[in-house]
């Protein structure tokens, strides 16, 4: 869906969307396709790249805020599609930080020897919970999925450090109020927009820049790495201005920052793994490179992962 398509739906313009967000187009899931369908495709590609089969997996962690259904977890539905019968599976709800949280947990579980091969996925079909009459939000979001396989290795490098944080006191700034136990869906809130994403954009923007900087600075400090040592930062793709402000604050030139927001918009938990995949497949990432992934999202949640590729 292009900005021109959106111009026909709400009072907006390609000029406004491009200047304020950097987004030119986004992918929209058609009716009948849900998160597990996209997670399935991404998982098959990740397993192919890693050279493993579904039988090898003993852990699947799936980050999403747009599950196929409230019950069971989308990870269970995916496990069945993959026939990954040896895997323990779980969804995590950390919004845009879902993939980063998933990497931290998978790494810890592998490191303590409980599991060997983990599949970590970030997937969203945000188009299903976007209010297509609200120009403040509908121009921002898109659908997609990305996945990575984690396994123990004797080779030096790999995941060098992880960092995750949250602040639930700011939850109201970015939320879907209805559809849970507090405000079950009923005829009133189905009509009033409470089942869709609601966001106080400017407040979220300020928190995002602060938190992304904190996540980057903290992981650099924790791992004894300088920002000049980072070959590529893969930030959550929410707004090009947030990405640029974060890079500026940590003194990282934009040619060391991966950006694909113009093609996909904000895909929440899927944004970092989609960007990671594109960076790998386009040879922007080479063996030995230091990669810093950084995210911020609803909750609020934020975090970072430092990898030596």
Residues noted as catalytic: 96, 236, 266
Sequence-ordered strand ranges (E) for the chain: 59-63, 88-92, 118-125, 143-150, 158-166, 174-175, 198-199, 232-235, 290-297, 301-308
Quick one: CA dihedral 293, 276, 290, 237, positive or negative?
negative
Residue 152 and residue 50 in contact, taking contact as beta carbons nearer than 8 Å: no
**Residue 309 interacting with ligand UT7 (CB under 6 A):** no
Stretches 52-60, 72-80, 183-191, 196-204: which one binds ligand UT7 (CB under 6 A)? Answer: 196-204
**Residue 244 interacting with ligand UT7 (CB under 6 A):** no
Between 73 and 239, whose beta carbon lies closer to ligand UT7? 239
Between 202 and 287, whose beta carbon lies closer to ligand UT7? 202
* From 96, 109, 166, 261, residue interacting with ligand UT7 (rule: CB under 6 A): 96
Q: How far is the CB of 127 from ligand UT7 (least distance, A)?
A: 15
**Residue 238 interacting with ligand UT7 (CB under 6 A):** yes
Residue 164 and residue 100 in contact, taking contact as beta carbons nearer than 8 Å: yes
Secondary element (H or E) of residue 37: helix 35-50
* From 201, 262, 263, 278, residue interacting with ligand UT7 (rule: CB under 6 A): 201
**Residue 131 interacting with ligand UT7 (CB under 6 A):** no
At 231, list the tokens.
């070959």
User: How far is 99 from 272, CA to CA, in rounded Å?
Assistant: 7
At 209, list the tokens.
């820049």
**Residue 21 interacting with ligand UT7 (CB under 6 A):** yes
Q: What is the CA radius of gyration of the chain?
A: 19
The conformational region for residue 163 under phi > 0 = left, psi -120 to 50 = alpha, else beta, is: beta
**Residue 202 interacting with ligand UT7 (CB under 6 A):** yes
* From 265, 297, 299, 303, residue interacting with ligand UT7 (rule: CB under 6 A): 297
Q: Quickly count helices (H) and strands (E) in the chain.
A: 11, 10
Secondary element (H or E) of residue 273: helix 271-281
* From 139, 149, 211, 292, residue interacting with ligand UT7 (rule: CB under 6 A): 139
Stretches 60-68, 133-141, 142-150, 249-257: which one binds ligand UT7 (CB under 6 A)? Answer: 133-141
**Residue 266 interacting with ligand UT7 (CB under 6 A):** yes
Q: How far is the CB of 201 from ligand UT7 (least distance, A)?
A: 3
Residue 283 and residue 266 in contact, taking contact as beta carbons nearer than 8 Å: no
Residue found under tokens 């000029």 = 15
- Closest residue to ligand UT7: CB criterion: 201
Binding site for ligand UT7 (CB under 6 A): 12, 16-17, 20-21, 96, 135-136, 139-140, 174, 201-202, 204-205, 208, 238-239, 242, 266, 296-297
């Amino acid at each position: 869906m292009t900005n021109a398509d959106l111009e026909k739906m709400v009072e907006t313009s390609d000029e406004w969307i491009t200047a304020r967000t950097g987004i030119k187009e986004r992918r929209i899931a058609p009716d009948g396709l849900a998160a597990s369908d996209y997670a399935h495709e991404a998982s098959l590609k990740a397993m192919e790249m890693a050279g493993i089969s579904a039988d090898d997996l003993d852990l699947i962690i799936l980050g999403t805020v747009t599950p196929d259904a409230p019950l069971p977890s989308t990870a269970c539905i995916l496990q069945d599609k993959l026939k990954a019968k040896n895997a323990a599976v779980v969804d995590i709800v950390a919004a845009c930080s879902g993939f980063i949280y998933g990497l931290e947990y998978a790494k810890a579980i592998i490191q303590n020897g409980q599991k060997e091969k983990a599949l970590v996925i970030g997937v969203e079909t945000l188009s299903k919970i976007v209010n297509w009459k609200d120009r403040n939000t509908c121009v921002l979001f898109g659908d997609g999925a990305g996945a990575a396989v984690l396994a123990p290795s004797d080779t030096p490098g790999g995941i060098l450090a992880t960092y995750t944080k949250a602040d639930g006191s700011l939850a109201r700034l970015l939320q879907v109020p209805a559809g849970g136990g507090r405000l079950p869906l009923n005829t009133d809130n189905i009509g009033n927009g409470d089942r869709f994403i609601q966001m106080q954009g400017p407040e979220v923007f300020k928190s995002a820049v602060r938190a992304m900087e904190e996540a980057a600075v903290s992981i650099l400090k924790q791992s004894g790495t300088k920002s000049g040592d980072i070959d590529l930062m893969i930030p959550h793709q929410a707004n090009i201005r947030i990405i640029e402000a974060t890079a500026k604050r940590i003194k990282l030139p934009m040619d060391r920052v991966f950006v694909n927001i113009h093609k996909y918009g904000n895909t929440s938990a899927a944004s970092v793994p989609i960007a990671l995949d594109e960076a790998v497949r386009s040879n922007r990432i080479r063996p030995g490179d230091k990669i810093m992934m950084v995210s911020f999202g609803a909750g609020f949640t934020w975090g970072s992962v430092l990898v030596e590729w």
